[in-house]
Amino acid sequence: MKVGITFDLKLTWLQQGLSHEQVAEFDSEETIAGIESALNELGFTTERIGNIIELTTALANNRRWDLVFNISEGYFGTGREAQVPTILDAFQIPYVFSDPLVLSVTLHKAMAKHIIKNHGIPTAPFAVIKDKTDIEKINLEYPIFIKPVSEGSGKGISHKSLIYSYLELVQYINEMPDDFNNQILVEEFLPGREFTVGIVGTGKDAATCGIMEIVSKKQGMELIYSLHTKDNYLSEVSYLIPEQSITQKCNELALAAWNALECRDGGRVDIRIDRHGVPNFIEINPLAGLNPIHSDLPILCRMNGISYSCLIDMIMQSALKRINKTK
C-alpha cells in the first residue's frame, strides 16, 4: 500500500518569515522521519507530500496514493486544519485522522465546549470575547483563564492568562497583541490536577492508550501548560502515571468526549480537576503531535508500555478498518 504523508514543516514556514510561536504547531524533520520510519517498518510504502500547496501541485500532476497520513495543521483561518482533508475528500482519497467537520469544530475551542456541554460532559463555564465590549457581559467566577479560541500547542498562553479580577481582565485584553487575529476564550479556572489521555480508534472501537499527569516543578506556582512550558518540559514539568481511581474517571470522560465530537483514529483529550474534585474537559486534539521523543501522545504511550511503532500501527489499523483497505 502506498501511503502519502501530508504535513507542515517548521523550517519551510520559518524560511518564509514566520516566528517561532507562529510555527509552534508545525512539525520538525525529526517528526516526519519518525512517522515515515514507523510506517516503513510496518510494511507500508511511503511518499512525502508536504503542505497544502505541495499537495495541490501533486494532485494537478495526477499523483495518487492509496491512503494519506495527514498531520497538516494549515496556516491561516479557523478551518486551517480541515483544508487538506477537504481536498482529499474532493479527490476521494482516504486519509488517516478526523474529517473536515471535526477538525474545524475542535480547533474552535468554544464550539467544541458547546458540544461537550450538550452531551452532559463536565467542562468549565465559559464565554467568548469577540471585541472589547464583550468584557462587560462576562458573568464568570474569578479567577478565570483566557486563551485564543483557535490556537494549539500552548500558543498565546502564559502565566498572564490566569486572571484574578475584572480590572486585570480589562488591562490584559487592552494590552493583548493581535498576533492571533481571532476571538478569546474565557473560562472559570480549574484549580486541580491536570491530565492528558491518549485515545486510538474510532467510534465503538475507540480505546484509551494511556494517561499521564502533568505536574509543575516550580513550587507554589499554578501549572500553566504554555508554549514555553511545552518547549522546556524537561525542566518545567514532571510527567507521572496517576492512581487507578482518577485514571478510570479521566478515561471515561476522555472517551465520552472523543465520541461526542466524532474524532477518528488517534489523538488526545486534556482534562483538569475542578474545585469540587470532578474531572473536566479542557480541550481535545484530534491532530496530536507525533514527534517520537517530545510529543505528549508518544510520551504517555511510552510511559504506559506502548512503543512509537505500536502507536502508529494502532492508528493505521483504525484508519484501514474504516476504509476497508489492506496492505
Residue pair 48/5 in contact (Cβ under 8 Å)? The answer is yes
Same CATH fold assignment for domains 121-188 and 190-323: no
Q: 19-51, pLDDT tens digit by residue?
A: 777 777 888 999 999 999 999 999 999 999 999
Q: 264-293, pLDDT tens digit by residue?
A: 999 999 999 999 999 999 999 999 999 999
DSSP label at residue 327: -
CATH number for the 2-97 domain, one of 3.30.70, 3.10.450, 3.40.50, 1.10.3470?
3.40.50
Edge-first strand order for the sheet with 162-163 is: 126-129, 184-188, 144-148, 162-163
Q: What CATH architecture applies to the domain 121-188?
A: 2-Layer Sandwich (3.30)
pLDDT at residue 295, as a whole number: 94
Mean pLDDT of the chain: 90
Q: pTM of the entire structure? A: 0.90
When pLDDT is cut at 50, 70 and 90, the band that residue 161 belongs to is confident
Please state which of the ranges 93-97, 183-187, 197-201, 219-223 shows the lowest mean pLDDT.
Answer: 219-223
- Whether 181 has a pLDDT exceeding 60, the answer reads no
Helix (H) or strand (E) holding 89: helix 83-90
- Whether 79 has a pLDDT exceeding 70, the answer reads yes
- Whether 204 has a pLDDT exceeding 80, the answer reads yes
pLDDT at residue 94, as a whole number: 97
> How many other C-beta atoms can be found within 10 angstroms of the C-beta atom of residue 177?
7
pLDDT at residue 154, as a whole number: 57
pLDDT at residue 180, as a whole number: 43
Determine what percent of the chain is predicted with pLDDT higher than 90. 71
Catalogue the long-range contacts made by 9-12 (C-beta closer than 8 Å, 24 or more residues apart). 9/50, 9/51, 12/50, 12/51
Residue pair 22/84 in contact (Cβ under 8 Å)? The answer is no
Residue pair 231/237 in contact (Cβ under 8 Å)? The answer is no
- Whether 255 has a pLDDT exceeding 50, the answer reads yes
pLDDT at residue 327, as a whole number: 47
The residue written with cell numbers 511545552 in the block is 230
Class of the CATH domain delimited by 190-323: alpha beta
Domain coordinates of the chain in residue numbers? 2-97, 121-188, 190-323
Query: How many whole angstroms separate alpha carbon 290 and alpha carbon 323?
Result: 22
Region 221-246 average pLDDT: 80
